[in-house]
Amino acid sequence: MGDGEVLELGSAALAPRSAPRHVALIMDGNGRWAEARGLPRFEGHRRGVEALRKTVRAAIEFGVDYLTVYSFSVENWSRPPEEVRSLLALLHRFIRNDLAELQANNVRVKVIGARADLTTDIAALLREAEEITAENTGLTLVVAFNYGARQEIAAAARSLAEDVAAGLLRPSDIDPAAIASRLDTAGIPDPDLIIRTSGEQRLSNFMLWQAAYAEFLFVPVNWPDFDRAAFEAAIADYAHRDRRFGGLEAVGRKAKTAS
Ligand code: IPE
Ligand code: IPE
Ligand code: MG
């Protein structure tokens, strides 16, 4: 009982605002999922792609506007070469196999992360996924691949510095909006809810800038076991949070005292 019920029964004006517009997922625990079953780590990653597929479908069903998935960090290159190879192969296969379904479901794909150090075939595949789906108007699926938030912020700073050096910008023009406009996520609203699976409670170089006012949820299931029910529970948990953004009143839904 409590204000959760008010939300579920709430007016049309209240209901949409209690749902997160942008959910970001740190899909962690594939290796542990596999190891617990005596399987190779690769099998955990393979099952992780299945969980991702189902999660995208659920995000569409739940009316989420942006779903960001952390699929490979800049630090993940330090893993054994055969594991890196299998992760790249899975990305390849995911785009090859699932692009048609994403397209049919009006999903727009956007990739964030450094492209420069990717092989040309992976870079071309990512570009193709973005181009084919560019005009879609449904869920935006943001794939964070070869992503590192510190690298992203450093690149934004470099780009601003280049403009200052060229006389296009004054140092006093550099404010949070100017920095945000140079990040890979320019034009994408900040995540409302960041979910990390596997029980780890850290960001691991993910969306450090964008997470300033995100709500966090750390769930104790490994990523391959994350499913529609877990996602629904996460969204319900989010709906009970008060977000104050430094002020005194909850923003985005009725304050607890009001119900
Ligand atoms: C997440 O699972 C997938 C990637 C980081 C690419 P992990 O591979 O990190 O699995 P654990 O954390 O070792 O269990
Ligand atoms: C974060 O998970 C990266 C992804 C989920 C792609 P990691 O497994 O790489 O993070 P750490 O090393 O445990 O912090
Ligand atoms: Mg991990």
Q: Which of 42, 147, 198 to mutate to test the pocket of ligand 1 (most atoms within 8 A of CB)?
A: 198
Residue 98 phi, psi (nearest 5): -105, -10
31 C-alpha vs ligand 3 centroid, how far in Å? 7
211 assigned to some structural domain: yes
Query: Is 76 assigned a catalytic role?
Result: yes
Structural tokens at position 169: 């910008």
* End-to-end Cα, the chain, rounded Å: 12
Domain that holds residue 118: 19-148+191-241
| Cα within 13 Å of Cα(219), Cβ side | 25
Structural tokens at position 232: 């629904």
pLDDT of residue 2: 39
Spatial contact of 93 and 42, defined as CB atoms under 8 Å apart: no
CATH number for the domain spanning 201: value is 3.40.1180.10
6 assigned to some structural domain: no
| 16 has a pLDDT exceeding 70 | no
| Closest-lying ligand 1 atom to the alpha carbon of residue 35 | 14
Q: Which of 73, 83, 203, 206 to mutate to test the pocket of ligand 2 (most atoms within 8 A of CB)?
A: 73
How far is the C-alpha of 1 from the C-alpha of 8, rounded, in Å?
11
* 8-12, 122-126, 202-206, 217-221: segment of lowest average pLDDT: 8-12
Contacts 24+ apart (CB under 8 A), 32-35: 32/198, 32/222, 33/222, 33/223, 33/224, 33/225
33 assigned to some structural domain: yes
**Helix, strand, or coil (residue 149):** helix
Query: What's the whole-model pTM score?
Result: 0.92
48 assigned to some structural domain: yes
| Closest-lying ligand 2 atom to the alpha carbon of residue 29 | 8
Tell me the mean pLDDT in the region 196-207: 98
| Cα within 13 Å of Cα(36), Cβ side | 11
Look at the chain and report how many structural domains it folds into. 1
90 assigned to some structural domain: yes
Spatial contact of 56 and 139, defined as CB atoms under 8 Å apart: yes
pLDDT of residue 253: 58
225 assigned to some structural domain: yes
Residues with CB under 6 A from ligand 2: 26-28, 70-73, 76, 200, 202, 204
pLDDT of residue 199: 98
179 assigned to some structural domain: no
Q: Please, which residues have CB within 8 angstroms of residue 178's CB and are 6 or more apart in sequence?
A: 160, 169
35 C-alpha vs ligand 1 centroid, how far in Å? 11
